[in-house]
Amino acid sequence: MKRFEPLIEWALLLCALLSIGTTAGIILVLTIETFAFLREVPVTDFLFGTNWTPLFATPSFGVLPLVAGTVMVSAIAMAVALPMGLLSAVYLSEYAPLGVRRMVKPILEILAGVPTVVYGYFALLFVTPLLQQVLPGLAGFNALSPGIVMGIMILPLVSSLSEDAMQAVPRGLREGAYALGATKMQTSLRVVLPAAFSGITAACILAASRAIGETMIVAIAAGQQPRLTANPLVPIETMTAYIVQVSLGDTPQGTLEYRTIFAVGMLLFLGTFMLNLVSAWLRARFREEYS
Amino acid sequence: MSDPATRLTALGALASRSSQHQHPPVDRPVKIHAESLNFSYGSTRALTDISIRIHPNVVTAFIGPSGCGKSTFLRTLNRMNDIIPGTRVEGKVLIDGTDIYGPGIDVVALRRRVGMVFQKSNPFPKSIFDNIAYGLRINGMAGTRSELAERVEESLRQAALWDEVKDRLQTSALAMSGGQQQRLCIARALAVRPDILLMDEPASALDPIATQRIEELVYDLKKTYTIVIVTHNMQQAARVSDFTAFFWLGRLVEYDRTDKMFTAPAEKVTEDYVTGRFG
């Protein structure tokens, strides 16, 4: 048996190295292609230009319309997911009887297991027509409907992780508040919620990062029109949807147009990577406070 | 005494005799009066037939081995056990003559009158100032800003903490030492002006110097408050308390003046416990 131990150790190490190697490879390709792209397009034109028309005869490479599209859809998603997620977390953690919590939490988490393509068609074929009955000006493709649906998709992420954070707040703190004559609401909102703040923030940032990286819903329901606008009722395009559009199209490899997806991909990667770092840092700090 | 059969026999003998020793033979006003109190966690009986009269402006200590029910009983006095699902209380606890388990009792108002300090200090993750101000704010006792500041200072002074923290009221309470945190929790409890203060092993996690400061504080506070302190430290009970109640296996075995409990207890099992033969 002893002879096998080193073998197993090597096999395990290899598995670990493989995933690290893959990540490194992705970053390497992104970097190389991004630099190739930036040799032809000045970085200021890319980052601050307000027109994104890389496939036109006279191309323009200003990424701001795509960034604005991503930010708008994500903001709508967060506007839906944050209040609903936080309130259901407060309910589940502080108010719900144990039996209810044991049942509701897994059901809520099923929401996260629905394939995103289903959400996409749900947004396009159900939510948009529904919204059009109240908002006559709403275009068939728009930012609002995928934003709302995306909010529902990331809701379990917010509620489940926030609830975990609130559950991790020591019972002693709640007892301390009750002993001073606090009501359940005063204890939940003014002691437990602030005490779980860093954990909850980490959950929200993780959810935002999911929203920014989410592709299928926006590719299906938001349209493909890069447009710098604050109006959620008209078609827009997000960074992820643009990458899908070019990857699936017939843009020849090695051209400048082709390289745009790596530059956009790099930007996307840096954005979500930063958010994940902040989230991980907050979670580590949260654990420190109460262990 | 560790043999379960011996314990049960002893307990049976006690049950028939103990009532005559449960009330100290002194004529004093009564602040808290528990009558035939039973308590269970789910199907586990934790307290059986507890009757006791606790007097105002004295320190009453609850002693007994781990699991004897002394903390559980303490927590029935401000209904802190209510927040644990599956608990059941039978019997009465009268505070100033009103049954706190009776109908129409406002538990929130009760807990404001009966303050509590816990075994593990539990300051909120807020500033020192906000920890004290929390109870005042939620109970609508904050008033103007200067009134609030005055009450905070007064509470910190009562808990003998003011001089140590007056220059850093806005720093986090979690940055204080363990002993300071526990005195902060005492100050926090005093800020809402309770008339009873329950202390659940308040010094068990502290070093001897911090413990001594808490004990001095308890001695000072009894002029203003009725204090009930749970402790597993018999020297502490002897030092700080006027009356001592000995709990064993969920029952109140003996309750008397502290000096009598430690020098001439009526029950053999009390004597065995206070002389350190078990526990």
Question: Which CATH number characterizes residue B185's domain?
Answer: 3.40.50.300
pLDDT at B239: 94
**Residue A151, Cβ neighbours under 10 Å: how many?**
25
Q: Among residues B22, B32, B28, which one has the least CA distance to residue B93? A: B32
Percent of chain B with pLDDT over 70: 90
Calculate how close chain B gets to A179, using CA atoms only, in Å: 5
Band (A251; pLDDT cuts 50, 70, 90): confident
Residue B6 tokens read as 């011996």
Average pLDDT over residues B161-177: 93
DSSP codes joined into one string, B80-113: GGGGSTTEEEEEEEEETTEETTSTT--HHHHHHH
Residue B25 predicted with pLDDT over 90: no
- Which DSSP category does B276 fall into? T
Domain carrying residue B21: 4-274
Mean per-residue pLDDT, B265-271? 93
Contact B118 A170 (CB under 8 A): no
pLDDT band of residue B1 (cuts 50, 70, 90) is: very low
- Residue A287: predicted pLDDT: 67
Short-list A253, A217, A284, CA closest to A73:
A217
Q: How would you classify the pairing of strands B251-257 and B243-248?
A: antiparallel
Chain A's closest residue to B187, CA to CA, is A180
* ipTM score of complex: 0.85
**Candidates A172, A178, A180; nearest CB to B192:** A180
- Find, among B211, B150, B151, B154, the residue nearest to B183 by Cα: B211
**Sequence-distant (≥ 6) Cβ neighbours of residue B188 within 8 angstroms:** A176, A180, B123, B131, B132, B134, B135, B155
Whether residue A180 and residue B108 make contact (CB cut-off 8 A), yes or no, is no
DSSP for A136-181?
TT--SS-SHHHHHHHHHHHHHHHHHHHHHHHHTS-HHHHHHHHHTT
In a domain, B85, yes or no: yes
User: To the nearest whole number, what is the mean pLDDT of chain A?
Assistant: 91
Whether residues B138 and A180 touch (CB distance < 8 A) is answered with yes
User: Structural domains in chain A?
Assistant: 46-290 (1.10.3720.10)
Q: Which residues contact A159 (CB under 8 A, 6 or more apart)?
A: A84, A85, A86, A88, A89, A92, A108
Strands B87-95 and B98-99: antiparallel
Name which of A98-102, A161-165, B9-13, B242-246 the model is least confident about: B9-13
Q: Is B78 contained in some domain?
A: yes
**B203 within domain boundaries:** yes
Note the pTM of the prediction, 2 decimals.
Answer: 0.80
Per the structure block, which two tokens stand in for B188? 């926090």
The shortest CB-CB distance from A173 to any of B80, B109, B122 is to: B122
Q: What is the pLDDT of residue B90?
A: 94
Closest-CA distance of chain B to residue A111, Å: 30
Is residue A22 pLDDT above 90, yes or no? yes
Q: What is the mean pLDDT of residues A122-136?
A: 95
For residue B145, is it within any domain?
A: yes
H-helix segments, chain B:
4-17, 70-76, 107-113, 128-138, 145-158, 162-165, 178-191, 208-221, 234-240, 258-263, 268-274
Mean pLDDT of A192-206: 90
Q: To which H or E segment does residue B54 belong?
A: strand B44-54
Best of B122, B139, B155 to mutate (most A CBs within 10 Å, chain A):
B122
Give the rounded percent of residues in chain A with a pLDDT score beyond 70: 98
Asked if residue B279 belongs to a domain, the reply is: no
Q: Determine, yes or no, domain membership for B213.
A: yes
The answer for B162, left when phi > 0, alpha when psi is -120 to 50, beta otherwise, is alpha
Check if the beta carbon of residue A70 is closer than 8 Å to that of residue A215: no
Find the mean pLDDT for residues A119-134.
95
* Structural domain contains residue B237: yes
Structural domain count of chain B: 1
pLDDT, tens only, A207-231 = 999 999 999 999 999 998 999 999 9
Q: Which amino acid is at B18?
A: S
Return the axis-axis angle of helices B128-138 and B178-191, rounded to nearest 10°.
20
Residue B22 lies in a domain: yes
Q: Which residues does chain B have within 8 Å of residue A178's beta carbon, measured at their own beta carbons? A: 80, 83, 111
Higher pLDDT: A194 or A286? It is: A194
C-alpha span between A28 and A95 (Å, rounded) = 49
- Per-residue pLDDT of A256-270, as tens digits, reads 888 999 999 999 999
3-state secondary structure of A234: coil
Contact B52, B31 (CB under 8 A): no
Pairing between β-strand B98-99 and β-strand B251-257 as defined by DSSP bridges: unpaired
Select from A176, A190, A195 the Cβ nearest to the Cβ of B118: A176
Tell me the C-alpha to C-alpha distance, in Å, between residue A243 and each of A72, A141, A238, A264, B7: 17, 18, 9, 8, 77
- The per-residue DSSP string of B127-162 comes to BHHHHHHHHHHHTT---SHHHHHHHHHHHHHHTT-H
How confident is residue B141, by pLDDT bands cut at 50, 70 and 90?
A: confident
pLDDT at A243 over 60: yes
Q: Which chain A residues are Cβ-neighbours of B80 within 8 angstroms?
A: 175, 178-179
Q: Do A180 and B111 touch (CB under 8 A)?
A: yes
Instruction: Quote the pLDDT of residue B23.
Output: 54
Angle (deg, nearest 10), helices A64-90 and A144-167: 40
* The residue to which tokens 């290899």 are assigned: A14
